[in-house]
Structure 1
Amino acid sequence: MKQNRRKECLSNSIPDSSGIGAKSLMGREPPQNLLPSKHDLPRLVLVLALASLVAWTCNFLFTSLLRSPSKPFCDTNFHSPDYFPDACEPCPSNGECNDGKLECLQGYQRHGNLCVEDGGISQSARKIVERVERHLCEGYAQFLCSGTGPMWVPEDVLWNHFQPVENVKVDNALHNYTKQRAVETMGKLLETRLNNSNGMKEFKCPDLLAVHYKPYTCCIRQWVSQHILVVLPICAMLVGCTTLFWSVRRKLSMSRRVEELYDKVCEILEDNALTSKSANGECEPWFVASRLRDHLLLPRERKNPLLWRKVEELVQEDSRIDCYPKLVKGESKVVWEWQVEGSLSVSKMKKRRDASKTRINESMDLNPRQHPEVKTEPVEPLF
């Protein structure tokens, strides 16, 4: 019990060391011996230099002693019965090996132990092939359309279309190699043949490729000529349907115009008959047909004699109108006269009926008080 009490007293009397340490570190400055002094700095540099030298020496010894040396390349034309595959590296394709050294062919670049094709030369050769293809296919397409234009083109003519790439001269070996690559590509893409007369290679655009270079007018013309047996009946049917449509439309338009002119003739003749009766004979009851025609027809309609002839037929069939010749100012004229007394044409009666209804409605709207409502008295039923 006494020992426990002594421990508690000691714990209460001694402060917390962690808290005191944290506070002391917050307020203290770093010790002066943290960085090397001026006397120790050369020693430190010497130690670092010795460590770097030891590391480099170890790396050199490891790479030179433990790593196997690189094998030389086998010669390209080396064929010996004592040849062992492990003695040398096989010469890669597109390269030549002499005395264990690799040299890539023209147009290829070395990448490690391989010879990779030069991208600039491939792009230049591709541009040349595209230019030649366009020239050949456009000429052959013209030949297929009109019969004029080159079909087979010799190789020397195509060389004129080859232009140097960038700053490369025509006689440069690089340009010659680029042309050689382009010719190899054209041999795979285009049709070729050997001319027996001069032994020169000739090129021609394939038919499937020349179709894409034909103009639209040529394609349409060739399609029509190939399907003429189908196109002709369709065109004839379209022309016939169009002609029939316009004929029916013209007849319907003429019939409507004839009926309109006939109604106007009836109105004019009827008004003239009523006017002559009210004027006590001062106005003639008849009307000259030719003057009536010139009055009603438009100038462009007078060129169509069939229009007025149809109107005359309707007038002659009408029993209300009398047609007879009459001597007018020394000339014989055909006159029309309205014979029915006190009758009105249907259109005029309808107009007058509509006008009377309109006047009645307007008078009722303007004077609603002058027309009182009539009250009906109830009537007793008669039973």
Structure 2
Amino acid sequence: MSSIPKKRPKPNAKPPSSSSSSSTSSLSSLMEPPQSFFPSTNEFLRLVAVLAIAIIVALGCNLLATTFNRQPKPFCDSGDIDSPDAMSDFCEPCPSNGECYQGKLECMRGYTQHGKFCVEDGDINETAKKLSEWVEIHLCEAYAQFLCDGIGTVWVREDDVWKELDGHELMKNGGLDSATYIYAKQRAMDAVGRLLETRTNPRGIKELKCPDLLVERYKPFPCRIRQWLTEHALIIFPVCVLLLGCTILLKKVRRRQYLSSRAEELYHQVCEILEENALTSNSINGEREPWVVASRLRDHLILPRERKDPVLWKKVEELVQEDSRVDRYPKLVKGESKVVWEWQVEGSLSSSRLRKKVEASKLKSAEGMGISSDQQRNALKAGEPLSY
């Protein structure tokens, strides 16, 4: 039998020695940084804030330096509009109402420079507006006076207007120099030329006239009424005549109604007076005349303001004349011939009523007399004196 070889036992591993462990720890301490090398969280945030502030300050200083040290762009020349540089970033386009040359802007007269633009001068604009209004009022009032009264001018020469503007108060008190005022005056005349009518006379001089639509605003109110009446006379005259005729006719109708009603009222009063007078004269045995003078009766019944109108009493006389109960005849009264009226008592239907009234009045008077006589007797018995 073959013999089995025996394995050799492995030698036991020896534990590391203390020298090797100490060398390893010293090596790791050299490779790792100390704990105080890295900042804390608060220190890190402070560092970030300081850096941010520094960056902002740097950017602000750079922006200010760029702004103050930056040169403005020159203006593109007015005559180089077709050139490619006119629309480039190297120059500013020349604004309207301005002229640009060699990069500089010069605004036209009447405009002032504000930055990159030419703005209209307010003083010149206001002066030109006032001058144009003055010219408009002056020409339109003259034309309106010509249309209303036939006095004034219609067409005015432009040279005359220009001379009148030279003496305007704005020339002295406007605060503008001579050149600026001339420019404002020119602008005013341009505005007036667009507003008013213009023509050139045979001498080649330009003339101005207020338009017909505009002159209506400057006509006085009485002139407007007069012209309106003149234009519509063919309509107004027949209407006025018709209204006048209707008014007169209405007044006549009302007057006729008044005269008729008033005459009837007076007629009834005349009849009552005549009838009462006739009955009274018969009852006192002829001591009183049965007739009444017509003129005295008229003056007794008619009011003073009605005596001026003879038509009213004529109507009363017509009514009396138509009445068969009244006789009308002339009679000599105190040496003068008068027309008297007399009531015919016989056959009168209303005489019985009046008789009763007369008798009642007589009874009342008799009773009064009886009472007075009794009082006198009693007074005599008592020895009292009578009072007259």
Normalised by the length of structure 1, the TM-score is 0.70
Note if contact 2:325-2:348 (Cα within 8 Å) is conserved in structure 1.
no
**In 1, are the aligned partners of 2:330 and 2:339 still within 8 Å (CA)?**
yes
Q: Which of 97, 103, 107 pairs up with 2:106?
A: 103
**Alignment gaps of 5+ in structure 1:** 1-49, 353-383
Match in the other structure for 1:75: 77
1:128 maps to 2:134: no
1:1-383 → structure 2 map (5 Å cutoff): 54=58, 56-60=60-64, 63=67, 70-78=72-80, 85-86=87-88, 87-159=90-162, 160-161=164-165, 162-164=168-170, 167-168=173-174, 172-197=178-203, 199-341=204-346
- Determine the C-alpha separation between the residues in 2 that align with 1:62 and 1:77: 32
- The CA deviation string for residues 320-344 of structure 1, in whole angstroms up to 9 with x for no partner, is 2122222323333221111135967
Q: Is the 8 A contact 1:266 1:345 kept in 2?
A: no
The residue type paired with residue 342 of structure 2 is E
Specify the alignment match of 2:40 in structure 1. Answer: none
Task: Report the Cα offset of residue 186 of structure 1.
Answer: 0.6
Write the letter of the residue equivalent to 1:106: R
Q: CA RMSD in A?
A: 3.1
- Tell me how far 1:130 sits from its aligned partner: 1.3
CA distance in 2, matches of 1:131, 1:186: 10
Tell me how far 1:259 sits from its aligned partner.
1.1
Return the TM-score normalized by structure 2: 0.69
Between 162-171 and 100-109, the greater mean CA deviation after superposition = 162-171
Deviation at 1:284, TM superposition (A): 0.5
Tell which structure's C-alpha radius of gyration is larger.
Answer: 2
Evaluate the alpha carbon distance shift between residue 59 and residue 185 of structure 1 in structure 2; reply closer, same or farther with a 3 A threshold: same
**Shift in alpha-carbon separation, 1:84–1:280, aligned structure 2, 3 A:** closer
Code of the aligned partner of 1:182? A
- Check conservation: 1:140, 1:149, Cα contact below 8 A: yes
Change (3 A) 1:230 1:80: closer
The count of residues paired between Structure 1 and Structure 2 equals: 299
CA distance in 1 between partners of 2:110 and 2:235 (Å): 56
Cα distance in 1 for residues equivalent to 2:56 and 2:84: 47
Please list the CA deviations of residues 81-135 of structure 1 after superposition, one character each: whole Å capped at 9, or x if unmatched. 6755314333211111121000111211222211111222212211111111111
Q: 1:344 to 1:118 in 2, by over 3 A?
A: farther
After superposing the two structures, state which structure 1 stretch, 88-97 or 294-303, moved more: 294-303
Q: Is the 8 A contact 1:76 1:97 kept in 2?
A: yes
Cα gap change, 1:327/1:79 in structure 2, threshold over 3 Å: closer, same or farther?
closer
- Hey, which of these two has a bigger chunk of helix by percent? 2
- Identify if the C-alpha distance between structure 1 residues 168 and 276 changes in structure 2 by more than 3 Å, giving closer, same or farther: closer
Q: Give the conservation status (yes or no) of the 8 Å contact 2:86–2:93.
A: no
Distance 1:126 1:80, change over 3 A: closer
The 1:84–1:115 alpha-carbon spacing in structure 2 relative to 1, beyond 3 Å, is: closer
Distance 1:328 1:341, change over 3 A: same
Question: Aligned to 1:109, what secondary structure does the other structure show?
Answer: strand
What is the CA deviation profile of residues 195-241 of structure 1, one whole-angstrom value per residue up to 9, with x for unaligned ones? 342x4332111110001111122222222222222112111110110
Question: In 2, Cα distance between the equivalents of 1:279 and 1:169?
Answer: 112
* Contact 2:127/2:170 (<8 A) preserved: no
CA drift at 1:157: 2.6
| CA–CA separation in structure 1 for the residues paired with 2:176 and 2:118 | 26
CA spacing shift, 1:215–1:259, aligned 2, 3 Å: same
- Whether the 8 Å CA contact 1:137–1:209 is kept in 2: the answer is yes
Structure 1 contact 267–345 (Cα < 8 Å) conserved: no
**Contiguous gaps of at least 5 residues in structure 2:** 1-53, 358-388
